């Protein structure tokens, strides 16, 4: 790539205030300043412009100045993702600078069309590269935010409730897939250890259907609970679910089931009072 001419760097350096003002106006006009304080925005744009000038000293844009510039953009795009900006708003932080820069260079090289085209191409390619780098970093951060939110939702959707001394209940709502099953098992087993409970009730009233996969998840959870020295009761077995289990040929004979949570709690209290592992 050809190098920028000294007059280009001088023009940018001598007109920083004008560039910043026009750049910020463009950002505000396109909604790219949402949730940002004016002071923070001014610091970010000013800091970027200083790093850009340092980077433009390198003809191939791979020097130390460029590396520092990319790290700056990685931090900025991560913060934008956490503020709820979309990828367009984040990338526009870079692309909004093109207009002010191009207008400045048009004035600088108004009598040199060949030099103008060359200088515009260099800057355009660099800003495009930085814009794509910003988007890639944004996507990585946004995906991490989404994964964290999904994990938090999974935890919230699997609350373990203490119903009685020695009795825990886990009401399930929605589909029980492999990931959620693992979360359910870990959460319930940990609560059994923390509380020293002897009986765990898994209520599937809110589970729309029970197929072979769901039944396997339940069986694994029950087995894990028993290995911890506790017993398990499954409640919320509706007529439709019972028929489905029969039609699928699923063997749940080793698991105590009840039609509703109230009946399961009564049985759990009875077992605790009797101090035996009765099934009924």
User: In this model, does residue 232 exceed pLDDT 90?
Assistant: yes
> Tens of pLDDT along 39-51?
999 999 999 999 9
The SS3 of residue 253 is coil
Give the torsion through C-alpha atoms of 57, 59, 63, 65, to 10 deg. 30
* Per-residue confidence (pLDDT) for residue 62, from 0 to 100: 45
The SS3 of residue 169 is strand
**Region class of 229: left (phi > 0), else alpha (psi between -120 and 50), else beta:** left
> Rounded CA gap, 235 and 193, in Å?
22
> Rounded CA gap, 212 and 193, in Å?
29
> Tens of pLDDT along 124-135?
998 998 999 888
Among 60-74, 79-93, 101-115, 158-172, name the one with the lowest average pLDDT: 60-74
Provide the CA 20 distance to its chain's centre, in angstroms. 32
Which domains, ranges and CATH numbers included, belong to the chain?
A: 6-154 (1.10.490.130), 161-274 (3.30.750.24)
* Per-residue confidence (pLDDT) for residue 277, from 0 to 100: 45
Enter the pTM of the model: 0.55
> Tens of pLDDT along 152-178?
555 555 688 899 999 999 988 887 777
- 170 bridge partner residues: 202
């Amino acid at each position: 790539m050809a190098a920028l001419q000294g007059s280009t760097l001088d023009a940018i350096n001598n007109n920083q205030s004008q560039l910043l003002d026009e750049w910020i106006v463009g950002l505000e006009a396109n909604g790219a300043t949402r949730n940002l304080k004016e002071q923070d925005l001014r610091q970010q744009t000013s800091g970027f412009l200083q790093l850009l000038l340092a980077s433009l000293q390198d003809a191939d844009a791979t020097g130390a100045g460029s590396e520092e510039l990319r790290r700056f953009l990685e931090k900025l795009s991560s913060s934008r993702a956490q503020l709820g900006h979309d990828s367009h708003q984040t990338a526009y932080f870079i692309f909004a600078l093109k207009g002010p820069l191009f207008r400045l260079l048009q004035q600088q090289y108004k009598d040199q069309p060949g030099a103008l085209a060359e200088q515009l191409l260099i800057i355009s390619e660099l800003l495009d590269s930085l814009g794509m780098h910003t988007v890639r970093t944004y996507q990585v951060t946004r995906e991490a935010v989404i994964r964290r939110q999904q994990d938090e939702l999974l935890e919230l959707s699997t609350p373990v409730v203490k119903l009685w001394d020695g009795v825990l209940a886990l009401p399930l709502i929605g589909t029980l897939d492999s990931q959620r099953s693992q979360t359910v098992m870990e959460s319930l087993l940990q609560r059994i250890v923390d509380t020293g409970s002897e009986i765990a009730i898994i209520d599937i009233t809110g589970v729309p259907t029970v197929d072979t996969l769901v039944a396997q998840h339940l069986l694994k959870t029950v087995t894990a609970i028993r290995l911890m020295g506790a017993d398990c009761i499954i409640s919320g077995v509706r007529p439709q679910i019972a028929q489905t289990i029969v039609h699928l040929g699923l063997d749940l004979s080793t698991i105590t089931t009840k039609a509703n949570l109230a009946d399961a709690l009564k049985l759990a209290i009875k077992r605790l009072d009797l101090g035996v592992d009765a099934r009924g």
